[in-house]
Structure 1
Amino acid sequence: MIRIKAWFKSGAPWVWLNAAAVSTCLIMVVGVLGLIVVRGAGHFWPAPVVQFSYQEPDGQTRTIIGEHVDTSITPAAMAKSSGHIMADDEDTLVQYLVKTGNRDITGTDFRWILERNIKQQQSPAELMVVERREWGNFYGQLVAVKESGKVIAEGEQAGPVAQARINEALAVFDEIAHLEKKEVGGINYKLDQLRLEQKGLQLKNRWDAAAEQRISVEKAELEIEYKKYQAQLLELYKQIRRDSLVAKTESGQEVEVPLAKVVRVYWPNTMSMFDKIGHYGVKVVEFLTDDPREANTEGGIFPAIFGTVMMVLMMSVIVTPFGVIAAVYLREYAKQGFITRLIRIAVNNLAGVPSIVYGVFGLGFFVYILGGNIDQLFYPEAAPAPVYGTPGLLWASITLALLTLPVVIVSTEEGLARIPRSIREGSLALGATKLETLWLTVLPMASPAMMTGLILAVARAAGEVAPLMLVGVVKLAPTLPLDGNYPFLHLDRKFMHLGFHIYDVGFQSPNVEAARPLVYATSLLLVLVIVGLNLSAILIRNHLREKYRALEG
């Protein structure tokens, strides 16, 4: 008993308890990250297509084609309670989740089948996967390739011809996307600016014959250019709609798939390891660089990556000077008393306010009050459509800057407090003013602490979703906040965000099973983006720390 009491008094149990708690937390974090990495990174690997010979509950045998996605093992007692008929010698009910695709034909992408009802399963070489821009994947067998309704290849020749025509169609589709987004989009933007300019001149009573003639000439030039691009687009659409694939489904039905809706065709059961690695790389690049499609459950997430990084950078530019100035005032200039202690308590409490509260404040103050007044003063010609009186990138960045401001203030204050008083006194003794001492000596030495606050702010802001739903983020943004149209950076535009994209795909998607792998992949990417931003800040902090280590000593 004495030894136990002495052991407790030594503090060793609390050391072991802390070590156990830290170990448990690390195991949980590593487990979560491992799950995200395995599920997210594995989403792009080409899975084999299996052909099942399956006995339906009515006794008929039919063919089911698809990817074996998941396996469910249910105890017999639980299966019986769910309505399944179990034999006396069956201990478990095994079910396969099969991605059958062909949603436009069958009405669903996935199906659960019972393992005991599978008569035969194989992976024929002729089974193909067609990734489409609409209706998800198509699984079946390639029958023929058509050009303008006429068969140009069938049988063994259909595969190479189909790949060649798909590559041509993808090149045409890229040209169409360029013309629609860059050229036609730019013309529409300029026409809208001319409309706003005309309305503004009319409101200021400066609309005269000269202004009318100038704007009419500019409109006429833009309309001529618009018609030229429209003619090019019509020709390209005719070209891309010319070819189609004829494919056979699992039921033997032949379906014609236009190449205009095809992203790629591949035969996974015949792919070598190098082919699969190449396919994996192409899918990863597509995921990082393309726009989303199919209600965000297919395609890429580049707009969400761009929006997340830009918002975090803008938030950092806003929060850093304000946080540093507030910390400097509280530590260096403010009289240390009851009011100052009260302000510090308020700042610490602000760090614990739920983020949705900041979102409501941002919507009410920044968007409706501040943005609405900006529209009335500077953009009356845009009324009744709001410019800054609506959620956008600027208000989202300011709201998150306000949310993370307490972290920067506290970290900077701690850094200022660690600087020895002798350094300040030495600088003042050499004839420097208080401002010069602060700017040239104290702040550089406290810069590692500022970077620590910024790192914590970035880590929190990059993963926030609730406030962004109110002040700027959307499910799908038609244009990026940064483009080639003046003024190039459009702070009033709404944007996409990785955190909201995860929420939307995971909880708002009409096709949950199809969206689940994308949730893991996007979560993995969000973790990597946050790690990348934090590593950049940590490298800067470490450089500054080494630079001023001698002075601190």
Structure 2
Amino acid sequence: MNVSVKDWFKSGSPWVWLNAGAVSLCVIMVIGLLGLIAVRGLGHFWPSTIYVTEYENRAGEHTVLLGEIADTTMVSAVQVTSAGYDVPDNMEYIPRQLLKVGNRDVYGQDFQWVLETSISKQEVREDLIVLERREWGNFYGELVAVKEQGSEVFTTGKDGFDATWDELQQRIERALQLHDEIHDIETGVIGSINYGLERLRLKERGLELQGVTDPIQFQALAEERAELNAEYDVLKEQLGGLYQQAQRDQVVVKTIDGKTVEMALSKVVLAYAPNNLNVFQKMSHYVGKLGEFLLDDPREANTEGGIYPAIFGTVMMVLLMSIMVTPFGVVAAVYLREYAKQGPVTRIIRIAVNNLAGVPSIVYGVFGLGFFIYFLGGSIDQLFYPEALPAPTFGTPGLLWASLTLAILTVPVVIVATEEGLSRIPRAVREGSLALGATKFETLWKVVLPMSSPAIMTGVILAIARAAGEVAPLMLVGVVKLAPSLPLDGNYPFLHLDRKFMHLGFHIYDVGFQSPNVEAARPLVYATALLLVVVIATLNLAAVAIRNSLREKYKSLEH
């Protein structure tokens, strides 16, 4: 049967295929983008081969560099010629390599571009090592000796590379254990003591403001303070011994151009020889670096180390936001659908709620800063924390105000989704409940809300998806570049809603656009962006699982 083009268009088939093609294209683009982010981000943790690169600079001088190839691009011959380099006549574009040469304390910069046409030799040597440091980034060079208290105990010239390398690894392990002990004491025990001393100071100040003159109460505080100070003195002496032990060992290394550098092993995080690793050793290294990225604190202006505080802050803020936004959104939707008189005023409120969903997020940030922090937080400080003034307690950006601001930002989504769910509940279900003697509230609480819970969860899912990726309002109401401590710890009241926190979205912005070392930060931007997508997807999938469970539970009642 012949079908004309006109009839084919009238049947609607072209539009179905066009829609299917558009959806397929979007899916391919999303998958491609995620694939690019994954490759660029996760590939950063694989141990790269380091090369000895010999080339001629623009002055014609012979130069030697040591480092890994971080990137390769093409540059126009005109640009190369204008920079003073000689270019073959038959080449329009010249490939160039971005070498990560490290050694920022020696060279002043740890990345350098090299034209491939100027490279005379590029070789791989197995005796070259990489030292990851707590400061100044990576060191690339040759191992010379291991020292103890300034005296050489192993040298590659006398004892050989393998023996010196094994000794270096053992002493680095010892230095890392000492570093962990020092960190636990400083941030854990001493942190708790400082927190206790501050609470005692505030209690004493509170007694003074109340006009209390009873010396017994002040004496009790003084005795408690003396006990904490005595504990601090013991820990301080213990820390001094640990610091002295940590400075015992040093390593002597040499750059590829012959400069000798000596550094304390307390400043070294990891030592490895990437050119001498087999596949399984590289996989082990990769897993270790990935674990460090997920579980450690950041260092080197957030361009090294991990992002655990940002992961924790993001998840904690989203959970608090969900706890706050759900009851407010559900109560508002129930009132509008079940109790409010349906008229012009109710319609205007619904229009206002829908319009609120389109307000730019930065406006909510300004509102949160002005209302929650300055007005509400300042009032709370005046009423409940006068002893801490003029230092603010809740009158400053923090986790609570950030969660509330995002709850206000996402509450229209929950209201609309909940109203849609309530409108789908059959009228016969309500009437049946009322006919059996239930009150309107009992019908709402025990029948209507449980049946509409899948729609409520849909609203929560949408709220989580939007809130987890927001950055602009958080910059005003609580997020910071680096938080000294997590909002959750072992000190009373354990969850500190007044503390500032880190966030994955802001971390991406900070590392990508505020970092002093852009090239070093670029892979971490990809890795953090991928992790943010994973965190949001995990939170959404958990909510979707709950929604699907509720939908199956109440499906029979809907028919």
From the superposition, tell whether residues 117 and 84 of structure 1 become closer, same or farther in structure 2 (CA, over 3 Å). closer
Structure 2 counterpart of 1:175, from 162, 172, 181: 181
The amino acid across from 1:122 in the alignment is: E
The amino acid across from 1:18 in the alignment is: N
In 2, the alpha carbon distance for the partners of 1:6 and 1:77 equals 58
Aligned twin of 1:190: 196
The amino acid across from 1:183 in the alignment is: V
Secondary structure, in 3 states, of the residue corresponding to 1:141? strand
Aligned twin of 2:454: 448
Deviates more, 1:7-16 or 1:344-353: 7-16
Q: Deviations over 1:10-68 (max 9, x none)?
A: 22222222222212211211111011111111111100111111122222212100001
The amino acid across from 2:338 in the alignment is: E
Secondary structure, in 3 states, of the residue corresponding to 2:529? helix
Secondary structure, in 3 states, of the residue corresponding to 2:290? helix
From the superposition, tell whether residues 56 and 82 of structure 1 become closer, same or farther in structure 2 (CA, over 3 Å). closer
Aligned twin of 1:42: 43
Q: Is 1:363 the equivalent of 2:385?
A: no
In 1, the alpha carbon distance for the partners of 2:553 and 2:91 equals 71
In 1, the alpha carbon distance for the partners of 2:69 and 2:19 equals 44
- State the Cα distance separating 1:85 from its structure 2 match: 4.2
Secondary structure, in 3 states, of the residue corresponding to 2:174? helix
The amino acid across from 1:92 in the alignment is: Y
Aligned twin of 2:322: 316
The amino acid across from 1:402 in the alignment is: I
Any unmatched runs of 5+ in structure 2?
Answer: none
Structure 1 counterpart of 2:352, from 340, 346, 355: 346
Aligned twin of 2:286: 280
In 1, the alpha carbon distance for the partners of 2:512 and 2:383 equals 41
TM-score w.r.t. the length of structure 1 is 0.98
Aligned twin of 1:429: 435
In 2, the alpha carbon distance for the partners of 1:433 and 1:460 equals 37
Q: Is the 1:68–1:96 Cα contact (8 Å) retained in structure 2?
A: yes
Q: Is 1:28 the equivalent of 2:34?
A: no
Structure 2 counterpart of 1:480, from 480, 483, 486: 486
Q: Which structure 2 residues correspond to residues 7-406 of structure 1 after superposition, within 5 A?
A: 7-77=8-78, 79-80=80-81, 85-155=86-156, 156=160, 157-406=163-412
The amino acid across from 1:129 in the alignment is: V
Secondary structure, in 3 states, of the residue corresponding to 1:252? coil
The amino acid across from 1:197 in the alignment is: K
The amino acid across from 1:6 in the alignment is: D
Q: Which structure 2 residues correspond to residues 502-541 of structure 1 after superposition, within 5 A?
A: 502-541=508-547
Secondary structure, in 3 states, of the residue corresponding to 1:47? coil
- State the Cα distance separating 1:182 from its structure 2 match: 0.5
Secondary structure, in 3 states, of the residue corresponding to 1:206? coil
- State the Cα distance separating 1:83 from its structure 2 match: 6.4
Secondary structure, in 3 states, of the residue corresponding to 1:128? strand
In 2, the alpha carbon distance for the partners of 1:208 and 1:35 equals 69
Q: Is the 2:58–2:84 Cα contact (8 Å) retained in structure 1?
A: no
In 2, the alpha carbon distance for the partners of 1:310 and 1:136 equals 31
Q: Deviations over 1:158-202 (max 9, x none)?
A: 101100000000000000000000101100000001001101100
In 2, the alpha carbon distance for the partners of 1:432 and 1:70 equals 70
Q: Which runs of 4+ in 1 moved over 4 A?
A: 77-85
In 2, the alpha carbon distance for the partners of 1:478 and 1:467 equals 21
Q: Is the 1:71–1:96 Cα contact (8 Å) retained in structure 2?
A: yes
Q: Is the 1:307–1:497 Cα contact (8 Å) retained in structure 2?
A: yes
Q: Deviations over 1:207-247 (max 9, x none)?
A: 42112211111111110000000001000000001111100
The amino acid across from 1:432 in the alignment is: A
In 2, the alpha carbon distance for the partners of 1:146 and 1:77 equals 51
- State the Cα distance separating 1:137 from its structure 2 match: 0.2
In 2, the alpha carbon distance for the partners of 1:118 and 1:313 equals 54
- State the Cα distance separating 1:79 from its structure 2 match: 4.6
Q: Is the 1:247–1:254 Cα contact (8 Å) retained in structure 2?
A: yes
Secondary structure, in 3 states, of the residue corresponding to 1:483? coil
In 2, the alpha carbon distance for the partners of 1:42 and 1:49 equals 15
Percent identical pairs in the alignment equals 64
Secondary structure, in 3 states, of the residue corresponding to 1:398? helix
- State the Cα distance separating 1:84 from its structure 2 match: 5.2
Deviates more, 1:36-45 or 1:364-373: 36-45
Secondary structure, in 3 states, of the residue corresponding to 1:548? helix
Q: Deviations over 1:365-387 (max 9, x none)?
A: 00000000000000000011000
Q: Which structure 2 residues correspond to residues 407-418 of structure 1 after superposition, within 5 A?
A: 407-418=413-424
The amino acid across from 1:62 in the alignment is: T
- State the Cα distance separating 1:482 from its structure 2 match: 0.5
The amino acid across from 2:144 in the alignment is: V
Deviates more, 1:50-59 or 1:287-296: 50-59
Any unmatched runs of 5+ in structure 1?
Answer: none
In 2, the alpha carbon distance for the partners of 1:5 and 1:325 equals 52
From the superposition, tell whether residues 465 and 442 of structure 1 become closer, same or farther in structure 2 (CA, over 3 Å). same
Tell me how many residue pairs correspond in the alignment.
553
In 1, the alpha carbon distance for the partners of 2:284 and 2:311 equals 23
In 2, the alpha carbon distance for the partners of 1:123 and 1:398 equals 56
Structure 2 counterpart of 1:552, from 547, 550, 558: 558
In 1, the alpha carbon distance for the partners of 2:460 and 2:485 equals 29
Q: Is the 1:331–1:413 Cα contact (8 Å) retained in structure 2?
A: yes
The amino acid across from 2:538 in the alignment is: G
In 1, the alpha carbon distance for the partners of 2:490 and 2:213 equals 29
Secondary structure, in 3 states, of the residue corresponding to 1:244? strand
In 2, the alpha carbon distance for the partners of 1:265 and 1:388 equals 44
Q: Is the 1:198–1:207 Cα contact (8 Å) retained in structure 2?
A: no
